[in-house]
């Protein structure tokens, strides 16, 4: 049984939320982090709306799983904030979507 794009995006959102929780530890960045996480939720939601039921390709699955594993290695809140900008583009590119939320 293959994983759908929506299921894959759900796992990516969990990783994104974990990064956001780490980034929120930096009090001065809280507003930026929450806004960025919300924007990426919308971005992933738009992709899921268009392509959710589609079967995720094996290359996309492997790439996103690797990116998720990388996020799980991050322990520094500043680095987590950096990855809040990087990780969504990796997910989008793996799915053949444009970077930057376009």
Q: For 6-25, write each residue's pLDDT tens digit.
A: 999 999 999 999 999 999 99
CA distance linking residue 42 with residue 97, whole number of Å: 14
**pTM (predicted TM-score):** 0.92
What sections of the chain are H helices per DSSP? 5-23, 30-51, 58-72, 77-94
pLDDT at 1 over 70: no
CA distance linking residue 57 with residue 84, whole number of Å: 24
pLDDT at 37 over 90: yes
């Amino acid at each position: 049984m293959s994983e759908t794009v929506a299921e894959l995006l759900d796992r990516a959102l969990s990783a994104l939320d974990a990064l956001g929780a780490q980034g929120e530890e930096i009090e001065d960045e809280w507003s930026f982090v929450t806004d960025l996480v919300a924007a990426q939720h919308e971005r992933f939601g738009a992709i899921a709306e268009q392509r959710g039921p589609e079967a995720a390709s094996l290359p996309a699955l492997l790439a996103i799983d690797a990116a998720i594993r990388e996020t799980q290695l991050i322990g520094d809140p500043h680095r987590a904030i950096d990855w809040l900008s990087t990780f969504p583009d990796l997910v989008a590119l793996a799915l053949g979507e444009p970077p930057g939320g376009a």
